[in-house]
Amino acid sequence: MTSAPPHREIAVVAFAQTVHRRISDELSEVEMLMPVLHEVLDRTGLKTADIDFTCSGSSDYLAGRAFSFTLALDGVGAWPPISESHVEMDGAWALYEAWTKLLTGDADTALVYAYGKSSPGPVRDVLTRQLDPYYVAPLWPDSVALAALQAQALIDTGAADEPALAAVAARNRENAAANPHAQLRHRVPQGDYLVRPLRTGDCPPIGDGAAAVILAAGDRARALCARPAWIRGIDHRIEAHGLGVRDLTDSPSTRLAAERAGAFARPVDTAELHAPFTAQEIVLRRALRLGDDVTVNPSGGALAAHPIMAAGLIRLGEAAARIHRGASDRALAHATSGPCLQQNLVAVLEGEPR
Amino acid sequence: MSKEPVAVVGIGQTRHVAARRDVSIAGLVREAARRALEDAALTWADIDAVVIGKAPDFFEGVMMPELYLADALGAVGKPLLRVHTAGSVGGSTALVAANLVAARVHATVLTLAFEKQSESNAMWGLSLPIPFQQPLLAGAGGFFAPHIRAYMRRSGAPETIGALVAYKDRRNALKNPYAHLHEHDITLEKVMASPMLWDPVRYSETCPSSDGACAMVLTDRAGAARAPRPPAWMLGGAMRSEPTLFAGKDFVSPQAGRDCAADVYRQAGVTDPRREIDGAEIYVPFSWYEPMWLENLGFADPGEGWKLTEAGVTELDGDLPVNMSGGVLSTNPIGASGMIRFAEAALQVRGQAGEHQVEGARRVLGHAYGGGSQFFSMWLVGARPPDS
């Protein structure tokens, strides 16, 4: 069905992100993004003109206006004109598109960025507009309620209980203490039920943020980065939209994407999982067969900072940055989209042996 | 490593109308997808990945509708990508899908673009609230009319050119069963007597608001060899973007459009587009954009595009037919309009365009643009594979 795996060495060579915050009223999206773009370029010494392809991810619905991404393009400095594309998806999928562009050989470097502001509107309500517009969206089931269904289903199987969920929350936020970009950098009380069985501590913080990475191929990557994070495999899969036809306690699309990305060929030492809700981390760990020896979400994950549309790209960036720093040799990065982990992307990143 | 050649082996469209009240959004996209699969003699199981595009989500009031459409598109268990590059999105979506084949990530990809404008009001969906945009810029026509006036002043084109384009495209649409507007009693006089909307753009020189979808099956050489009908081969494809507004921007002939065309021609080995290309499906939402884009695309020198239109060169039986399908002026499901241009170009080189077929069309350009004349996507397709 699918052709032989493609052969061109492509790596993440730089990553930058904002300090994610609950509210950024004083900044437009472009103003929020600009420092990140400058920082990621500075890390490589590249100028805008050195970038062969640019791809971004964002959502008009979060921005509250059509074509919101066109304003961000001003921040990129698209003059002279650039080869550029945009996905209405998390930036992890923009990275995927850029990866395919580099695979064709038409580009050797790519800038990928993503941003999202959840603060201007009630994000739980906004995300209901993602649902089947005829049969589900009119009922306005919000994102926390749907995640609570998933969490309860998981508890009902015996695979987790509320203390186990609380432990996930605590570990992620303790990890975030070492991450100056995170929004929550310490343990927070589990608090009251938001939607049973999920307590406020089981849910991600609402916040604004942006992230950017640079991809480069072959020797170009080696020249730009002391230890490139080579993309050994990357794949993404989607499941049915109707929650009633899915087993919410499993993530077959994550498992399939991981298989296609080669994640099961050898163990990873690190995993950055895009699990906005505590129960989802448990679902993902099981689907990915991650053992206790794997360092999961050393950044604090989405429970410590969750700028929608950028949070998946940040997982790829955090995993790559650990390889750049020499803190990981083989890392798995995961991104998700849609209600209850409907769509999932898995990438396997490796550093060259030290 | 050289790229895998990309072939178009299946094309499907819906019948485009003002309001498809008989189908849901899922039903609309599925109709186009099924026709593309039938054309390619393939089933859903033969598709490795799906790439879907549409213009702003506000047009239907569904945020990231591809999530909901995963089932209808047969994408469950497969990769599904959603592209959004403003009005150029239909073309960009096809190019993203083509890259998956060219990079040998997948062998066979379904690509699809749609808009169901009847679900909302596109004009207000396009009109940003103050302070993001000055008042009275209602709809796309208000944005583009000043740039058309700049072209008229710059080129000295007679005022009748726009009406000639509209009259041609609406007559071409009569030969295309999928076109939205079928104005059997159209006359040049009626076009010129229609109400002025945004001076100099008259009602009959404006695109309609349509519901519709367009789908294509793209595949590699092995897939093309199995196809029951002649494939169209991608000879070149490119995207270019520039900012919306900046000092020195040329709205009449944007640099991004010129660069994009130059890249496509370079890939295809085309040095004289006017002679080497047999027809073009160009994104013309307002009649005057035909002569403007003819110049931007290198089919005419600056200031000379309107002369091709006036001389009948762009008529269906002319030397360089443009918008044989009736174009965006006759059919405009916004997100799909770019892909319809790409697909109609492919239909021509496959010899499958029916009544609006250009005899012997061997190389045809598909073109799309969007935003404030700032996003461009194009491909050139041929009857023969590249380097043959």
pLDDT confidence tier of residue A75, bands split at 50, 70 and 90: confident
Average pLDDT, chain B: 95
B262 touches chain A (CB under 8 A): no
Contact between B67 and A130 using a beta-carbon 8 Å cutoff: yes
* A100 closest CB neighbour out of B25, B58, B105: B105
Helix (H) or strand (E) holding B44: none
Work out how many CB contacts closer than 8 A connect A with B. Answer: 192
Q: Does B240 touch chain A (CB under 8 A)?
A: yes
In terms of DSSP H, where are the helices of chain B? 25-40, 66-69, 89-102, 122-126, 139-155, 161-173, 188-193, 221-226, 255-268, 273-276, 289-296, 305-310, 327-330, 334-350
Contact B106 A2 (CB under 8 A): yes
Q: Note whether B105 contacts A2, CB cutoff 8 Å.
A: yes
Residues of A in contact with B24 (CB under 8 A): 134
Q: State the nearest Cα–Cα gap between A97 and chain B, in angstroms.
A: 7
Contacts of A127 in chain B (CB under 8 A): 63
Chain A hits for B106, Cβ within 8 Å: 2-3
Contact of B63 with chain A, judged by CB distance below 8 Å, is answered with: yes
User: For residues B3 and B103, is the Cβ–Cβ distance under 8 A?
Assistant: yes
pLDDT in tens, A21-40: 999 999 999 999 999 999 99
pLDDT, mean of residues A75-87: 94
Rounded Cα gap, residues A327 and A225, in angstroms: 15
DSSP lists the bridge partners of residue A98 as none
Ordered domains of chain B (ranges, CATH): 7-120+209-226 (3.40.47.10)
* CATH number, domain A10-121+206-224: 3.40.47.10
| Domain residue extents for chain A | 10-121+206-224, 123-204+230-350
Cβ contact B86–A67 (<8 Å): yes
**Cβ-nearest to A342 among B61, B67, B79:** B67
Q: Min CA distance, B138 vs chain A (Å)?
A: 14
β-strand pairing of B7-13 with A343-350? unpaired
Asked if B191 reaches chain A (Cβ–Cβ under 8 Å), the answer is: no
Residues of A in contact with B84 (CB under 8 A): 60, 69, 86-88
pLDDT of A1 above 80:
no
Distance from CA of A171 to the nearest CA of B (A): 31
Q: What is the ipTM of this complex?
A: 0.97
Banded pLDDT at A3 (limits 50, 70, 90): very low
**Looking at CA atoms only, how far is residue A337 from chain B in angstroms?**
8
Contacts of B3 in chain A (CB under 8 A): 104-106
pTM: 0.97
DSSP-assigned beta bridge partners for residue B279: B364
Q: How far apart are CA A25 and CA A18, in angstroms?
A: 15
| A89-119 pLDDT per residue, tens | 999 999 999 999 999 999 999 999 999 999 9
**What pLDDT is stored for residue A4 in this prediction?**
46
For range B347-364, the mean pLDDT:
98
Q: What is the enclosing helix (H) or strand (E) of B177?
A: none
Q: How far is A46 from chain B (nearest CA, A)?
A: 19
Once rounded to an integer, what is the mean pLDDT over residues A271-284?
98
pLDDT band at B136 (very low <50, low <70, confident <90, very high): low
Q: Do B11 and B216 touch, CB atoms closer than 8 A?
A: yes
Note whether A81 contacts B240, CB cutoff 8 Å: yes
CA distance A28 to chain B (A): 11
Which residues touch B58 (CB under 8 Å, ≥6 apart)?
A60, A61, A66, B120, B125
CA angle B330–B211–B16, rounded 5-degree value: 50
| Greater pLDDT, A276 or B126 | A276
Taking the C-alpha atoms of residue A229 and residue A323, their distance in angstroms, rounded to an integer, is 6
B76–A239 C-beta distance less than 8 A: yes
Instruction: Give percent of chain A above pLDDT 90.
Output: 92
Closest residue on chain A to B58 (Cα): A66
Length of chain A: 354
Whether residue B85 lies within 8 A of chain A, CB to CB, comes out as yes
Of B78, B238, B246, the CB nearest to A238: B78
Chain B CA closest to residue A5: B105
Contact A295, A353 (CB under 8 A): no
Q: For residue B311, what are the contacts with CB-CB under 8 A and spacing of at least 6?
A: none
Measuring CA to CA, how many Å separate B346 from each of A37, B86, B224, B379, B383? 38, 22, 14, 10, 9
DSSP A22: S
Q: Do A104 and B102 touch (CB under 8 A)?
A: yes
A79 vs B4, B129, B242: nearest CB = B242
Q: Is B220 on the interface with A (CB under 8 A)?
A: yes
Residue A132 contacts by C-beta under 8 Å, 6 or more apart in sequence?
A241, A242, B68
Residue of chain B nearest A65, judged by CA positions: B128
The whole-angstrom distance between A221's CA and the closest CA on chain B is: 18
Cβ contact A132:B68 at 8 Å:
yes
Taking contacts as CB-CB distances below 8 angstroms, the residues of chain B near A66 are: 55-56, 58, 125-126, 128
* Rounded distance between C-alpha atoms, residue A252 and residue A261, angstroms: 14
Do A10-121+206-224 and A123-204+230-350 show the same overall fold? yes
Q: What is the pLDDT of residue B133?
A: 57
Mean pLDDT, residues B126-151 taken together: 75
Render pLDDT for B279-319 as a digit per residue (tens, 0 to 9). 999 999 999 999 999 999 999 999 999 999 999 999 999 99
B68 contact residues in A (CB cutoff 8 A): 130-133, 241
Give how far A4 is from chain B: nearest CA, Å.
7
The string of pLDDT tens digits covering residues B322-347 is 999 999 999 999 999 999 999 999 99
CB A59 within 8 A of CB A121: no
CB contact under 8 Å between A104 and B61, yes or no, is: no
pLDDT tens digits, A318-334: 999 999 999 999 999 99
**Across residues A220-239, what is the average pLDDT?**
98
**CATH 3.40.47.10 is right for the domain spanning A123-204+230-350:** yes
